[in-house]
Amino acid sequence: MEKIPSFSKNHDELKTGLHVCGTAHGVTTWDLRFKKPNAGDYISPAASHTIEHLIATLLRNSPRKDDIIYFGPMGCRTGFYLLTVNLGKSEVTELLKNCFELAENFDEVPGNKREECGNYLEHDLNGAKNECKKYLEILNYI
């Protein structure tokens, strides 16, 4: 089998931040890297799941909601992927700063009822907010 592009980048050289993976069929894939790969610090599964609920909700309620294709966690738990159309890096950076700031305001996880989620008991709102705050600091240095 051919090695796919996401396995072809050297993860030892990947830094935290916001990176473009590429654009195909008009859709841009963004690498929201929360953690330095293979450095022993990972987002917990419960916090990662909650961040998905919080940030997906915020992105899909934002003024750019029509330009959001997908937001979801990386299996390695070092970050998230965001797929967009019509958005450049400065617009995505501003949009994400906004969303990660607003994440702090949730006092419950949106979509956390049994009928709304595939693993509704595995959530960690405080852990998610803590990771969102750390990633916001990373975004503020871009």
If the CB atoms of residues 50 and 78 are measured against Zn ion, the closer one turns out to be 50
Burial of 85 (0-12, 13-18, 19+ CB in 10 A): middle
Chain residues 83-142 in contact with Zn ion, contact rule CB under 5 A: 117
- Nearer Cβ to Zn ion, position 17 or 45? 45
Is 135 strand, coil or helix?
Answer: helix
Q: In this complex, which beta carbon is closest to Zn ion, that of residue 117 or of residue 136?
A: 117
Tell me the closest approach of the beta carbon of residue 70 to Zn ion, in angstroms.
14
Residue 124 C-beta: closest distance to Zn ion, Å: 12
Alpha helices in the chain (DSSP H): 5-8, 45-59, 89-102, 125-140
Rg (CA), the chain: 15
Q: Give the nearest distance from C-beta 58 to Zn ion in angstroms.
A: 15
Residues forming contacts to Zn ion in the complex (CB under 5 A) are: 117
